[in-house]
A = this chain, B = another copy of it.
Amino acid sequence: MSDPAADDRLGEILELLRADGGRVTSARRAVVASLMASDGHVSAESIAAEVQGAMPDVSVSTVYRTLEVLERLGQVEHVHLGHGPSLYHLADRRHVHLLCRRCDRVIELPDTYLADLADRLADDHGFVLEPRHFALLGTCAECAARADQAG
C-alpha cells in the first residue's frame, strides 16, 4: 500500500502547495492521495466520499477548494461531461475523454488524439483548443451494437 514513487509524487505536490504560500493539511493530503489512487477521472463528490471514509468530517467544499488550488498550480485538471459532474484528474494524466451517453462509460484516448483538430482550428480560426477540457459525446461500440440489434 506504500509505494515510494507515489509518496514522492505526493510530497512533490504538497511542496508546491507550500511554495505557493499554502498550508499542507490532512484534508489536502487526503484529497491528493485519493486522486493518485483513483483510476484517473473522479468527481468531487466521489473524492469527498473516499476521503470521508477515513476522515468523516472533511466537507465537500474543502474538496472543491483543494481541487481549485491544485488546478491553479497546474497539478490538476477537470473535464466537463455533458450532463453530470465534472471529473478531476492529476495533470500528468493527460488524455482526451469520450463519454458514451447511453451507458455513461468514459473512454480515455491519448491526448495527441485531437492534435490534428487543434492544428486545423489554429490555422483556420486562430482558436487555441484545450483538448482535455471537454468530453467528446457519442455512443460507444457496445451500446451502438445493442441499439443496432434492437432495430
User: Residues of A with Cβ closer than 8 Å to B?
Assistant: 80, 82-83, 98, 100-101, 107, 109, 114, 116-117, 121, 125-130, 133-141, 144-145
Contact pick for A98, options B125, B135, B138, B145, CB 8 Å: B125
Identity of the chain B residue whose Cβ is nearest the Cβ of A143 in the assembled complex: B128
Tell me the bound Cα distance from A82 to B96 in angstroms.
15
Copy total for this chain:
2
Question: Which B residues lie within 8 Å of A127 (CB)?
Answer: 98, 100, 107, 136, 138-141, 144
Q: What CA separation (Å) do A127 and B136 show in the bound complex? A: 10
Residue in B101, B121, B134 whose CB lies within 8 Å of A82: B134
Task: Quote the shortest CB–CB distance from A14 to chain B (angstroms).
Answer: 28
